[in-house]
Chains A and B, each alone.
Chain A
């Protein structure tokens, strides 16, 4: 298995500001993923973050709004830019653990509230 740590665990932000969420994995992983879970809904994939290349964004998500960094095999960041109340969600980082065939592990999530 993999242990994934995210911070901040929660934050209250002002409209128009940006916030960076950090994700740390306790082992080297090839693929990391960022998901959004809006209130009362399931998870939606934002992007796939691979080390050494640009993140791959899903339909409806763009790099200018959600820039992602992946400097090494254990760490990634997601920035939510120019926030509006519609960005209030839980943002979850996940990774496929090495040695496990496709099993996905999640961090505890970062709950953002935008006022």
Chain B
């Protein structure tokens, strides 16, 4: 059974810091891994999708890497801003379903 773990559970940083959020999964037989952002009381916004054959994806200040063999992914946020404050969720897809981690709650203060 696939299990997804995200560390840390919460993070509070001053504006401008570079951040690394971690995601690990127990079954390496995945099709892809996706990072989402969720603002309080809202749905999920897709940030980055990494196919199982890829090593990383970049979008603006965000960079996500995938090491399928070790069951790990990291989301790197450069030059963090208060607007980045949200919960970040990773999810792995295998066998036509996405399994989510519990998320990292990020607060960036001015």
Total contacting residues, chain B, CB less than 8 A: 23
Question: Is A26 interfacial (CB-CB < 8 Å)?
Answer: no
Q: Are A45 and B98 in contact (CB under 8 A)?
A: yes
Is residue A101 within 8 Å, beta carbon to beta carbon, of the partner chain? yes
Given known A41-B102, A42-B103, contact A102–B31 (CB-CB < 8 A): yes
Query: Which candidate, B14-22, B38-46, B60-68, B73-81, is the interface stretch facing chain A?
Result: B38-46
| Contact call B89/A43, Cβ cutoff below 8 A | yes
B52 to chain A: closest residue by CB:
A102
Query: From DSSP, what is the main secondary structure of chain B's interface residues?
Result: strand
**CA–CA, A31 to B103, complex, Å?**
24
| Given A31-B96, A42-B100, A48-B96, A101 contacting B44 (CB threshold 8 A) | no
A68-112 contacts to B, CB under 8 A, are 90, 92, 94, 100-109, 111
Query: Which residues of the other chain, B, contact A94 by a CB distance below 8 angstroms?
Result: 44
Q: Is there an interface contact between B43 and A92, defined as CB atoms closer than 8 Å?
A: yes
With contact pairs A42-B89, A43-B89 given, residues A104 and B100 touching in the complex (Cβ less than 8 Å): no
The residue in B31, B32, B42, B43 that gathers the most chain A C-beta atoms within 10 A of its C-beta is: B43
Provide the main secondary structure of the chain A interface. Answer: strand
Q: Give A59 to B32 CA distance when docked, in angstroms.
A: 23
A66 touches B (CB below 8 Å): no
Q: Which of B31, B36, B96, B101 has the most CB of A within 10 A?
A: B96
Which B residues have a C-beta under 8 Å from some C-beta of A? 31-32, 34, 36, 41-46, 49, 51, 89, 91, 93, 96-103
Known A102-B32, A106-B36, A106-B46; further 4 A-B contacts with Cβ < 8 A: A6-B43, A42-B102, A104-B93, A106-B43
